[in-house]
Amino acid sequence: MKSIGMPFEKGSLILVDYTATVKDTGEVIDTTREEDAKKHNIYEHDRLYEPRLVAVGEGWVLKGFDEALINANVNEDVTVDVPPEKAFGSRDPNKVRLIPLRKLGDKADEAKVGDVIEMDNRVGIIRSISSGRVQIDFNHRLAGKTITYSFKVVKVLDDDRERVVALIRRRLPVKQDKLNVVINNDGMLEVFIPEEYYMQEGLQIVKRGIANDIFKYVKSIKSIRFIEVYERKEEVKESKVEEKRAEVVEEVKQEEQAQASASTGNT
């Protein structure tokens, strides 16, 4: 456990709650807090808002944010300004190009200022369109911006099982109560993959990434077994089917008899 006032060791696994904003404009660019996402109209319904797992000093977050995390204390509210050179980089005027509009091909007639386009395997933003020419900025949209982080380290993960679960969920967004893992005494980890992820594209790559992370950050784990369990679906017995069919036939007969009796009475 980290002592107050002492920096985290490189590779420490922590959970961080934060909101990142552009200092000049107050634009929220990322948050783990649902209330902030809703307040600033960036809420995503399919995203799980919760503290983010970070391996301190491993480049999982922006360099300036990483440096601030090293010296943070658990449950301490911190605000730090991250300068461009430790965030998304300084603006490079050489990454701004002026090209003929016709080079956009079929998209030329639809192009407008602010559009994000891909050209020459690079992503850029259209800054202006004039006299048959278009200015494209290939700098990151946040290049040259100071980013303000308001954050709190809410937990340090010291327990091996907590670390394993957090590392799995980093790559496979499973709700914690749906993730079943077993750590055996011989260092074997068994991970039961939830059924809804069996057909996920790139699952083998995800599993390899999870394994690499666990071997790096959880030294007690010697081997990993990913398990997919397929269960026989409950079959309806033939007798039940016949019984149901007989019930339907009987209901039809009773209805026909009732209609016949009604017709006789009206004669």
Fold classification of 1-88+144-158 is Chitinase A; domain 3 (3.10.50)
Distances (CA, A) of 254 to 217, 243, 248, 250: 71, 17, 10, 6
Own/partner contacts of 189-193, CB < 8 Å, gap of 24 or more, are 189/164, 189/214, 189/221, 189/223, 189/224, 189/225, 190/224, 190/225, 190/227, 191/224, 191/225, 191/226, 191/227, 192/227, 192/228, 192/229, 193/226, 193/227, 193/228
1-88+144-158 with 93-137: one CATH topology? no
Domain positions in the chain: 1-88+144-158, 93-137
Nearest-Å Rg of the Cα atoms of the chain is 30
Q: How far apart are CA 80 and CA 63, in angstroms?
A: 12
* pLDDT digit string (tens) for the chain, length 267 residues: 555 556 899 999 999 999 999 999 999 999 999 999 999 999 999 898 999 999 999 999 999 999 999 999 999 999 999 999 999 999 999 999 999 998 888 888 889 999 999 888 899 999 999 989 999 999 999 999 999 999 999 999 999 999 999 999 999 988 888 899 999 999 999 999 999 999 999 999 999 999 999 999 999 999 999 999 998 876 655 566 667 667 766 776 777 676 666 666 555
180 by DSSP, 3-state: which? strand
Nearest to 168 by CA among 187, 191, 148: 191
For domain 93-137, say whether CATH 3.40.50.720 is its number.
Answer: no
Bridge partners of 19, per DSSP, are: 31, 150
The torsion angle over the Cα atoms of residues 204, 210, 213 and 216, rounded to 10 degrees, is -80
